[in-house]
Amino acid sequence: MVPDARVRGVVVVIPCHDLDATMEYFCDALGFRIELISPADSPSTVVLSGHGALLRLQSVEGEYDPGVVQLLCDDAGDLPPGSLLAPNGTRIDVLPADPEVDIPAQQQSVVVSTLSGNARFGVGRAGMNYRDLIPDRQGGRFIASHIRIPDGGPVPDYVHFHKVRFQMIYVHRGWVKVVYEDQGEPFIMQAGDCVLQPPTIRHRVLEASPGMEVIEIGCPAEHDTIAEHVITLPTGRELPEREYGGQLFVRHRSEGAAWEPFRFDGFVQQDFGIGTATHGLAGARAIRPDGGTDWPRAVVDNEFFFTFLLDGRATLHIGDEAPQALESGDCFVVPAEVPYALTGISADARMLEVSLPDQLQPRPL
């Protein structure tokens, strides 16, 4: 494209044999209007406008691909949901403009991901390196990613938002500078800090330290990342009480945060406040030893139960599988009713635990 060219619009070409019938259908049934007909004495081209689109109906001979037109509707009115068929064969999909988040059915499984064994980092959005911590995605219901920015510096990100049920970010190594909609000026998250990104909150990653690493957990596994072209960040407002999709924004700062008793004696935790912000949907906490070395064998009933070993060492006992040594960067997912335990937890160990729902009621065995 010539650098100084100016594009005035985009036209989607739709071929047809019967120009009149196709034109009448798009105008009468779908609400388009005529902008141009050419030539006047024997029309072979009609340009229609409607719903923010321009369509060029083009009379052709022989076979053709009729294509697909998607109508994104807040209220479809008399249009039936699903697909329609124009006289020329073009399929008309009538879709909701703002569809509900699709949460796949729960398919729990035992997952153990080790940094030294099965870790693979690939290049993802904005040049960041992604490691998939739950390859089977629990049937598509959950995703957990270990994300690295090797070189640091400015991040080629843009203002965007996600259509999710749940999403959180925990800084594992280094620091990252971010900005969120109506949450004040950009701020730096250090190692140990965490944010809850409630559904549809606009945000942007601005800068990172070399070797920065975060753990990101979301539901569902596949969700839309939508660019924001209207709202700029920061907005100049700080509204901590604002809800997004029924959830509050959470910024947990590890430095200075209190360590409280954990559910097992000999260990303490920092609760991130996600349970309160999500009305019990999810919870997350950092855990470290306080004189203890072992967790008793127990089962949980949660929809999702994930643990990432941030530092130190431990031995995992899960189900009937052989004990497995874990070290920094390893993680596991335990399904409901499957017994598990951690033993030999080193004094320098740190763990990230995420559960849906928030409340954990493990039953010792």
Which overall architecture, per CATH, does domain 111-244 show? Answer: Sandwich (2.60)
Three-state secondary-structure class, residue 12: strand
Question: Would the pLDDT of 125 be above 90?
Answer: no
pLDDT in tens, 168-212: 999 999 999 999 999 999 999 999 999 999 999 999 999 999 999
Model confidence at 230, in pLDDT bands (50, 70, 90)?
very high
* Separation of alpha carbons 344 and 293, rounded Å: 5
pLDDT in tens, 21-68: 999 999 999 999 999 999 989 999 999 999 999 999 999 999 999 999
What is the biggest distance separating any 2 CA atoms in the chain, rounded to whole angstroms?
Answer: 92
Question: Would the pLDDT of 129 be above 70?
Answer: yes
Return the percentage of the chain with pLDDT > 70, whole number.
Answer: 97
List the domain boundaries for the chain: 11-96, 111-244, 260-364
How, if at all, do strands 53-59 and 11-16 pair?
A: parallel
**254 contacts 192 by C-beta, under 8 angstroms:** yes
Question: Would the pLDDT of 2 be above 80?
Answer: no
Indicate the residue type of 262.
Answer: F
In the predicted model, what is the mean pLDDT of residues 257-275? 97
In the predicted model, what is the mean pLDDT of residues 275-301? 96
* Separation of alpha carbons 233 and 158, rounded Å: 10
* Separation of alpha carbons 138 and 315, rounded Å: 23
pLDDT in tens, 151-163: 889 988 999 999 9
**295 contacts 345 by C-beta, under 8 angstroms:** yes
In the predicted model, what is the mean pLDDT of residues 1-10? 69
* Separation of alpha carbons 112 and 241, rounded Å: 38
pLDDT, mean over the chain: 93
Tell me the CATH number for domain 11-96: 3.10.180.10
Question: Would the pLDDT of 341 be above 60?
Answer: yes
* Separation of alpha carbons 76 and 249, rounded Å: 33
pLDDT for res 79: 78
> CATH topology of 11-96 equal to that of 260-364?
no
pLDDT in tens, 63-117: 999 999 999 988 877 777 788 999 999 999 998 888 889 999 999 999 999 988 7
CATH superfamily to which 260-364 belongs: Jelly Rolls (2.60.120.10)
Three-state secondary-structure class, residue 154: strand
- Model confidence, pTM: 0.87
Quick one: tokens of 74?
A: 């807040």
